[in-house]
């Protein structure tokens, strides 16, 4: 680490740091500011509202057009995350610990799917989901989300499982632990951080996803929050939905920003694991 030698240099780096923080913050603060503007002040381009109002928030939080999609987002995200982490853990354990032919095929397949163009699936999946009755249901989104969460999960967890000192399991058994105890008391706590990291990244992916969400749903019964935002309309045909959209954007964004800040170390470790250790 190059030490910061003098005050001038320190100032330079400090200025660069500040610049980054400002560039990141401005678009976020802008949408927050818009969400507090009154309907008549939306056409005032000043950065901060002249009068602050909560009307946009009370409006969307009383509207099923937003609440229902929010529930869908949380439900679909959680179910897809649990399934993806479970299946990815099983596959990753096999990759990290077992000898079997086809391992490199699995790794290759995961890489291919990480690169897969989602739009290529929209047209055929639309027809398949209609035929199977999955169109406009939670599982119509959960299944593709699991499929696209798996490669990430397999990569992170396989890299993670390789680092676990598995001989501890043997040691625990020698000390009289049952295989179940050896797993729950020794291995599971060691594996948990990797699984949490995977769960965070898969959930973020599901929460963010937009193309499938607008393609495989048609009503608020299964539409997720980002998709619902794109279908917002004003309370009357003459009022622009800018305020409600901004408030909804803030509601779906702020929890994620807090979440990302709390788990930043894990997210960074997860994003970079497997990718660069090469």
Partner 1 sequence: MSTSTQTAAVAEAAGAKGKGRGKLSEGARAERRLGWLLCAPAVVIMIAVTAYPIGYAVYLSLQKYNLAFPNAVKFVGLSNYGAVLSSPYWWQAFKVTIIIMVVSVAIEFVLGMLLALLMYRTLLGRGTVRTSALIPYGIVTIAAAYSWQFAWTPSTGYLSALFNNSAPLSSTVSSLGVIILAEVWKTTPFVALLLLAGLSLVPEDLQKAAKVDGATAWQRFTRITLPLMKPAILVALLFRTLDAFRIFDNIYILTDGGNGTGSVSVLGYDNLFNALNLGIGSAISILIFICVAIIAVLFIKGFGTAAPGSNLLK
Euclidean distance between CA atoms 171 and 174, whole angstroms: 5
Find the helix packing angle between 103-114 and 64-97, rounded to 10°: 150
Pick from 210, 221, 233, 235 the residue near partner 1 by CB under 8 A: 210
Residues 43-62 that bind partner 1 (CB under 8 A): 43, 45-47
Asked if 207 is part of the footprint of partner 1 (rule: CB under 8 A), the reply reads yes
Nearer to partner 1, 177 or 214 (CB): 214
Q: Whose structure tokens read 């009068």?
A: 51
Which 178-197 positions form the footprint of partner 1 (CB under 8 A)? none
> Between residues 34 and 199, which has the closer beta carbon with respect to partner 1?
34
The C-alpha atoms of residue 223 and residue 137 are separated, in whole angstroms, by: 9
Nearest residue (CB) to partner 1, 55 versus 214:
214
CA 84 to CA 264: how far, in whole Å? 21
- Rounded to a whole number of angstroms, the distance between the first and last alpha carbons of the chain is 23
- Number of helices (H), then strands (E), belonging to the chain: the values are 13, 0
What is d(CA 178, CA 161) in angstroms, rounded to the nearest whole number? 21
Residue 132 lies near partner 1 (rule: CB under 8 A): no
Stretch 248-267: interaction string toward partner 1, x if CB under 8 A = -xx-xx--xx-xxx--x--x
Among 95, 141, 199, 206, binds partner 1 (CB under 8 A): 95
Q: Per the structure block, which two tokens stand in for 147?
A: 């499929």
Interface with partner 1 includes 115 (CB under 8 A)?
A: yes
Task: Give the range of 12-20, 52-60, 180-188, 190-198 binding partner 1 by CB under 8 A.
Answer: 12-20
Residue 61's contacts (CB-CB under 8 Å, 6 or more residues apart) are 67, 251
Q: Considering the complex, what minimum distance in angstroms separates the CB of residue 163 from partner 1?
A: 8
Using CB under 8 A, pick the residue from 60, 91, 191, 199 that binds partner 1.
91
Q: Which stretch in 20-28, 57-65, 176-184, 187-195 sits in contact with partner 1 by CB under 8 A?
A: 20-28
Encoding tokens for residue 29? 């603060």
* Minimum distance from residue 182 beta carbon to partner 1 (Å): 15
Selection from 217, 51, 198 nearest residue 139 by Cα = 217
Closer by beta carbon to partner 1, 177 or else 269 = 269
């Amino acid at each position: 680490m190059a030490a910061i030698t003098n005050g001038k240099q320190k100032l330079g780096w400090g200025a660069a740091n500040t610049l980054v923080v400002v560039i990141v913050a401005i678009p976020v603060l802008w949408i927050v500011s818009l969400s507090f503007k009154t309907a008549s002040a939306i056409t005032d381009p000043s950065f901060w509202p002249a009068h602050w109002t909560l009307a946009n928030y009370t409006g969307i939080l009383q509207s099923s057009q937003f609440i229902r999609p929010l529930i869908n987002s949380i439900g679909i995200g959680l179910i897809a995350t649990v399934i993806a982490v479970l299946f990815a853990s099983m596959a990753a354990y096999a990759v990290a610990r077992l000898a079997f032919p086809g391992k490199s095929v699995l790794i290759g397949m995961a890489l291919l799917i990480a690169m897969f163009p989602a739009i290529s699936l929209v047209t055929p999946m639309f027809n398949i989901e209609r035929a199977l009755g999955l169109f406009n249901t939670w599982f119509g989104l959960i299944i593709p989300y699991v499929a696209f969460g798996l490669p990430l999960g397999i990569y992170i967890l396989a890299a993670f499982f390789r680092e676990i000192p598995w001989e501890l399991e043997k040691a625990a058994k020698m000390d009289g632990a049952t295989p179940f105890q050896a797993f729950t008391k020794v291995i599971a706590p060691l594996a948990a951080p990797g699984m949490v990291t995977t769960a965070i990244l898969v959930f973020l992916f599901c929460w963010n996803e937009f193309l499938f969400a607008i393609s495989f749903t048609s009503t608020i019964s299964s539409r997720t929050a980002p998709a619902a935002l794109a279908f917002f309309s004003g309370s009357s045909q003459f009022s622009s939905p800018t305020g409600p959209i901004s408030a909804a954007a803030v509601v779906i964004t702020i929890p994620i920003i807090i979440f990302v800040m709390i788990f930043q170390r894990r997210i960074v470790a997860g994003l970079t694991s497997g990718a660069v250790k090469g």
